[in-house]
Amino acid sequence: MGEVTPIRFSEAVSASLEDGVLVVTIDNPPVNAASADMRSGLLAAIRHAGTEDAISAVVITGAGKTFVGGADIKEFGQPATEPILPEVVEAIEKSSKPVVAAINGAALGGGLEIALACHHRIAGDRAILGLPEVKLGIVPGAGGTQRLPRLVGIAKAVELIAAGRSVAVSEALSLGIIDQVVAGNPAAGAVAAARDLASQPLRRTGELALPVEDPQVIDEAVDKALSRARRGAAPAEAVQLIRRAGERSLAEGLAEERATFLRLRDSDQAKALRHVFFAERAAAKVPGLEGVEPRTVRTIGVIGSGLMGSGIAVSALNAGYRVIVVEQDAEAAEKGFDRIAGLLDRAIKSGRIDAAGRAERLLRLSIGSVQDLSTADLVIEAVFDDLDVKTELFEKLDKIVRPDTVLATNTSYLDPDAIAAATSRPERLCGLHFFSPAHVMRLVEVVRCGKTAPEVLATGIAVARRLGKLPVVCGVCEGFIGNRIFSAYRREAEFLVEDGAWPQEIDAAMEDYGFAMGPFAVFDLAGLEIAWARRKRQAATRNPSERYIEIADRLCEMGRFGQKTGSGWYAYPDGKRTVDPEATAVIEACRKAKGIAPRRVSSDEIVSRLLAVMAAEGDALLAEGIAERASDVDLVMINGYGFPAHKGGPMYVAKEGLHP
Ligand code: 3HC
């Protein structure tokens, strides 16, 4: 290696000259975001390279574990400062000397756009690459929608950009997003590649012709992306920009992209999604856990292999853990194994894993009895929600596992403090409340019980995060954050029906607002019998002056438990949700019995009332100290209950006065 001369272009950007290659390092903690200072430094470095004869090529890399984490989200909402990112990106692509991206870590949003403008891309094996802008309610604003399709084709670009999906290096390489992968830090390889490229014609992404594609494949990708977007504006706008990439010049495409980016950046949806972004970061900061290290977990025991247990087991296998699934007898064990293997088969079908991945996962799985849990570092119980069953199980478990094993219950409604009290070390128990299907749903409520030790809570959070989940910490109350708000939502939805709204009108209003499913469709999907059993339990202690709706009780008495019995609030001939005259008659009879003259309820009233009760219950949870912050409540409702992320969550809507 020749002389090393450090040059500083801005606070965040410095470079050294290595054998005629200017190695530019972006050092802008925490994630090397493309702030105003970073942009001006990077542009200065590229311009410097262009004018210095001693420099034959440039390498751009990031300090720390990120390449560039994208535009600086904290700058959004403020006037743009020159130079803007597209100007920097253009200077890179147009450089007469080769520019190589040494992608040492995450290259996201504007970070990937910088890399796409480089003439060659080498990534370290732990990097991830993606254009997640739609998750912030915007489209890529520095060429992503125009350059990525030139590398991967329109269909693939639509799939990635409209979902904001990031890819690991193996996929990025096979798609042609990057040119090379190296183990560890890619900087040295990039210097060698840059030197080689200095004597060759440059491959400028923006000048590439679009790959030839089957129009039907494009249409399918577009349809899929649009149907997933629900009411979110950004994915549809991104799809439009990508589709037109082939029809216009690069300059025209970039101009339209930029205009769309600026328009969306100031939209209500983008503001709400920025709230969600920062809410997720805030949720990771748990009071009382500062400096607390989680325990090491390698082996996870999962008790119960029903729908929930098998989903948790698959999540744990996907995350690389050894998993011991516990069942009562050989028959149940066999069924559990089949369920887990079936979920892995589906993952193969959808292309998420391959046959070797399935085989490797199954090697890490064993099925046994409670006695086999002596080697587990964490045990998650996911058996039938019955206090006697659970306390008896934990009493037994307590004597089998090591003293430092963390115990977790997946109970939805029972008191985890009562379960902890059945053990000799209640401080080692926390709640890990997964949502079904557990291998898909991102939310996990991590329940801090009365005696949970900080290290135990930290372990629950760390494992949830490694499973790729979003852990939200909460205290103990019936239903925790999510189900308690959901109960209030259910109650109000039923009030609305008694007042005169039809379930199908309520569902339509909420789906139009952006919910994946309206409340009555959800009740039918989840089944009506659990809530019915709870109501019967509570009947003796219920305040008789409280408004009580009997419609659901009548439906249950008729054996209408929802989709699984073919009818509930709706009927399901051929599996299709249909308004059922029999349910309508039940509703009318219940209204009549109370002497209620039904009135027309507008969709605005439906949405307003349902959002208001969610926020009111959220306020109560905050006042009781069950939820730490309002934004945690928003995250629970978005990630566990289908609240549209682009609306920001019920607490955000209430705070910003965004009710219809
Ligand atoms: N701008 C400003 N701050 C950012 C940021 C960004 N792009 N990305 C992360 N941060 C901040 C976080 O708020 C957090 O701050 P805090 O410590 O004060 O809470 C800190 O950086 C660390 O973030 P994480 O906890 O998320 O760190 P991880 O190490 O877990 O993850 C990451 C790193 C993968 C880069 C992750 O932060 C991430 O996904 N960031 C967002 C990426 C993104 O959405 N980029 C697109 C931006 S929009 C864009 O680029 C527009 C362009 O097209 C013009």
pLDDT of residue 80: 80
Pick from 16-30, 236-250, 534-548: least confident = 534-548
Say whether domain 5-258 belongs to CATH 3.90.226.10. Answer: yes
Q: What is the CA radius of gyration of the chain?
A: 28
Q: Read off the pTM.
A: 0.93
Q: Could you give the CA distance from residue 344 to residue 359 in angstroms, rounded to a whole number?
A: 9
Nearest alpha carbon, ligand 1 atom 29: 31
SS (H, E, C) 295-311: CCCCEEEEECCCHHHHH
Residue 318 dihedral angles phi and psi, to the nearest 5°: -60, -35
Of all residues in the chain, what percent carry a pLDDT higher than 90? Answer: 91
18, 90, 93, 113: the catalytic one is 113
Residue identified by tokens 């339990």 is 537
Model confidence band, residue 531 (pLDDT cutoffs 50, 70, 90): confident
Average pLDDT over residues 2-10: 77
CB of 453 closer than 6 angstroms to any ligand 1 atom: no
280 in catalytic set? no
Nearest alpha carbon, ligand 1 atom 25: 281
Residue identified by tokens 């504007």 is 110
Q: Could you give the CA distance from residue 587 to residue 503 in angstroms, rounded to a whole number?
A: 10
Q: What is the pLDDT of residues 580-603, one digit of tens each?
A: 999 999 999 999 999 999 999 999
Whether residue 173 contacts residue 124, with contact meaning beta carbons closer than 8 Å, is answered with no
Q: Could you give the CA distance from residue 331 to residue 367 in angstroms, rounded to a whole number?
A: 12
279 alpha carbon – ligand 1 mean position (Å): 12
CB of 340 closer than 6 angstroms to any ligand 1 atom: no
Single-letter amino acid code for the residue at 16: S
CB of 70 closer than 6 angstroms to any ligand 1 atom: yes
Burial class of residue 385 in the structure, from the number of CB atoms within 10 Å of its CB (0-12 exposed, 13-18 middle, 19+ buried): middle
267: left (phi over 0), alpha (psi -120 to 50) or beta: beta
Whether residue 131 contacts residue 144, with contact meaning beta carbons closer than 8 Å, is answered with yes
Q: Which of 72, 101, 217 is nearest to 158 (CA)?
A: 217
Q: Inter-axis angle of helices 250-265 and 144-152, to 10 degrees?
A: 130
Whether residue 413 contacts residue 479, with contact meaning beta carbons closer than 8 Å, is answered with yes
Nearest alpha carbon, ligand 1 atom 30: 281
pLDDT of residue 432: 98
Of all residues in the chain, what percent carry a pLDDT higher than 70? Answer: 99
Q: Which of 146, 178, 448 is nearest to 292 (CA)?
A: 448
Q: Could you give the CA distance from residue 653 to residue 612 in angstroms, rounded to a whole number?
A: 9
18, 90, 133, 628: the catalytic one is 133
What is the rounded average pLDDT for all residues in the chain?
95
Q: Could you give the CA distance from residue 476 to residue 76 in angstroms, rounded to a whole number?
A: 37
Single-letter amino acid code for the residue at 10: S
Model confidence band, residue 3 (pLDDT cutoffs 50, 70, 90): low
Per the DSSP assignment, residues forming a β-bridge with 122 are: 102, 180
Q: Cα dist. 55→16, 22, 39, 462, 508 in Å?
A: 11, 6, 21, 46, 63
Q: Which fold has domain 482-625?
A: N-(1-d-carboxylethyl)-l-norvaline Dehydrogenase; domain 2 (1.10.1040)
Q: What is the pLDDT of residues 476-498, one digit of tens each?
A: 998 999 999 999 999 999 999 99
596 alpha carbon – ligand 1 mean position (Å): 53
Whether residue 373 contacts residue 301, with contact meaning beta carbons closer than 8 Å, is answered with yes
Q: What is the pLDDT of residues 609-626, one digit of tens each?
A: 999 999 999 999 999 999
Q: Cα dist. 183→107, 161, 192 in Å?
A: 17, 27, 15
Domain boundaries, the chain: 5-258, 299-474, 482-625
Whether residue 141 contacts residue 259, with contact meaning beta carbons closer than 8 Å, is answered with no
Look up residue 645 and give its DSSP letter. Answer: G
Q: Could you give the CA distance from residue 524 to residue 552 in angstroms, rounded to a whole number?
A: 11
Query: What is the separation of C-alpha 427 from the centre of its chain, rounded to a whole number of angstroms?
Result: 30
Burial class of residue 514 in the structure, from the number of CB atoms within 10 Å of its CB (0-12 exposed, 13-18 middle, 19+ buried): middle
pLDDT of residue 1: 47
Say whether domain 299-474 belongs to CATH 3.40.50.720. Answer: yes
Reply yes or no on whether the pLDDT at 34 is more than 80: yes
Q: Could you give the CA distance from residue 240 to residue 156 in angstroms, rounded to a whole number?
A: 14
114 alpha carbon – ligand 1 mean position (Å): 16
643 alpha carbon – ligand 1 mean position (Å): 23
Residue 203 dihedral angles phi and psi, to the nearest 5°: -95, 105
Whether residue 520 contacts residue 510, with contact meaning beta carbons closer than 8 Å, is answered with no
Burial class of residue 1 in the structure, from the number of CB atoms within 10 Å of its CB (0-12 exposed, 13-18 middle, 19+ buried): exposed
Single-letter amino acid code for the residue at 540: A
Q: What is the pLDDT of residues 199-254, one digit of tens each?
A: 899 999 999 999 999 999 999 999 999 988 878 899 999 999 999 998 899 999 99
78 alpha carbon – ligand 1 mean position (Å): 17
Mutation pick for ligand 1 pocket among 26, 28, 31 (CB with most ligand atoms within 8 Å) = 31
Nearest alpha carbon, ligand 1 atom 10: 31
299-474 shares its CATH topology with 482-625: no
133 in catalytic set? yes
Strand order in the sheet with 106-108: 66-68, 106-108, 128-130, 167-168
Q: For the beta carbon of residue 657, count every other beta carbon within 10 angstroms.
A: 6
Whether residue 184 contacts residue 61, with contact meaning beta carbons closer than 8 Å, is answered with no
Q: For the beta carbon of residue 33, count every other beta carbon within 10 angstroms.
A: 23
Residue identified by tokens 């208001």 is 612
pLDDT of residue 511: 95
Q: Is 138 helix (H, G, I), strand (E, B) or coil?
A: coil
